[in-house]
Amino acid sequence: MPYNSSWNTQEQWPDCFTGNMHGHILQLCVIQAVASFIHLEPKNVTVLRGSQVRFNCSTDESWDVMTWLLGGRTILTISVEHGPLGRDESVSTVNHSMSSLSLWELVLMNASFSLTVQEVTCELLPTKPGRSSSALFVQEKGNVRILETDQSAEEGMLVIFHCQATGWYPDPSVSWVVNGTTVDRGDYNTSSLQDPDGLFSSSSVLQMTAEMSTWVECWASVSAARAHQSSSVKLTVVAPETPQDYTVVIAVIVSVCTIILLAVLILILCYRKKVTKSSSENKVSPSLWTVNLSSGRWSVADETSGKVNLGYHTEDVTSLGHHDLRNKAGDTTNIISPPRVPDIIIFRSSDQKKEDFSNLYYKGGKTVRRVTTV
């Protein structure tokens, strides 16, 4: 069957050389290869840097030398008579040929990173045309981390998390997972930058309301990665602080202050009452003194309703002498009372103040009596 460049090998050989060539799978691929001229499978490969990659080159035509090229550079040469020529630790080969079909497998042990798509070519000499190519896309997996550490927040508060994915190629897909559920893309913002080496760094910001304690995860991945890279922190949600109610405290303070104030007022009133009573007792009523302005003297007996001393005589009592009194003393039936001196007789001038006599009455006043011994 003549070579047809438009022939779709993926439709004709589905997954023939994506795994190990054993049993009926290998037989099916051999039958399909017979109907072609030269084929290289798979046609498009995307892997991470450092991954192992396998390509299969098959033909039903005769050839002398098979050459493998990567990005235009020869990496392996195979002779029909001698097999692989030279030794390169970065590649290896496996011969799956049969009598009716030549089939060689190329294994790239460590795929190298490149910003561009690398062309893998299988070339047969001296067959013409004897070339078939595939595309190899090597991606780079970087790192991802959440800048914040474990956090605590009150329920209902707005919490912000920042995630950085650095050293990726191509631009990584960044997503957030909260409590095992992927967050909608509209709930976070992501931006990317490419450094001079061609690698991408992405930054993502997530804003969320603290509702319950949970784990917050940031995922980053590229298409060639079988698993995503992730970073996680724990968010602990606590109950909001309730403002302390000072009503009871204020009520108690007011009550205590009121009681103290009332006690102080009662003490003050009692003290004033006591002072007023004491002043009233020590104060002499003006009615106790009668001023005789015409005679210029006061009489205590008149004011105090005292009795008049009938034994008082205006003449000199000494004129009688002690002898006469003794003689009269023998008569027990006629006892003459000795003359008595009034309680007090105060003479004053018209310009003397009433208060001076009052002071005299309290401080130095004494009742003077003259007693005659019989």
Q: Are strands 158-168 and 151-154 parallel, antiparallel or unpaired?
A: unpaired
pLDDT digits (tens, 9 = 90+) for 203-222: 999 999 999 999 999 999 99
Q: What totals of helices (H) and strands (E) does the chain contain, helices first?
A: 6, 21
Is the distance from CB of 368 to CB of 344 less than 8 angstroms?
yes
Q: Which of 174, 181, 179 is nearest to 230 (CA)?
A: 174
Average pLDDT over residues 69-88: 88
Look at residue 196 in the predicted model and tell me its pLDDT. 92
Average pLDDT over residues 305-309: 58
Look at residue 310 in the predicted model and tell me its pLDDT. 60
Q: Which of 292, 287, 281 is nearest to 304 (CA)?
A: 287
Gap between the Cα atoms of 56 and 75, Å rounded: 15
Q: How high is the mean pLDDT of the chain?
A: 75
Phi–psi pair at 266, nearest 5 degrees: -65, -45
Q: Does the 143-238 domain belong in CATH 3.30.450.40?
A: no
What pTM, to 2 d.p., does this model score? Answer: 0.54
- Which stretch, 53-57, 62-66, 369-373, has highest mean pLDDT? 53-57
pLDDT digits (tens, 9 = 90+) for 236-281: 999 887 666 677 788 889 889 999 988 888 988 888 888 887 777 6
Residue 143 — pLDDT band, cuts 50, 70, 90? very high
Indicate if the pLDDT at residue 78 is higher than 80. yes
Is the distance from CB of 184 to CB of 224 less than 8 angstroms?
no
Look at residue 314 in the predicted model and tell me its pLDDT. 55
Encoding tokens for residue 352?
Answer: 């003397």
Residue 152 — pLDDT band, cuts 50, 70, 90? very high
* CATH of region 9-139, choose from 1.10.10.10, 1.10.132.10, 3.40.50.970, 2.60.40.10: 2.60.40.10
pLDDT above 90 as % of the chain: 45
Can 9-139 and 143-238 be said to share one CATH topology? yes
pLDDT digits (tens, 9 = 90+) for 309-357: 666 555 554 444 444 444 444 444 444 455 555 555 444 445 554 554 4
The residues spanned by each domain of the chain are 9-139, 143-238, 286-363
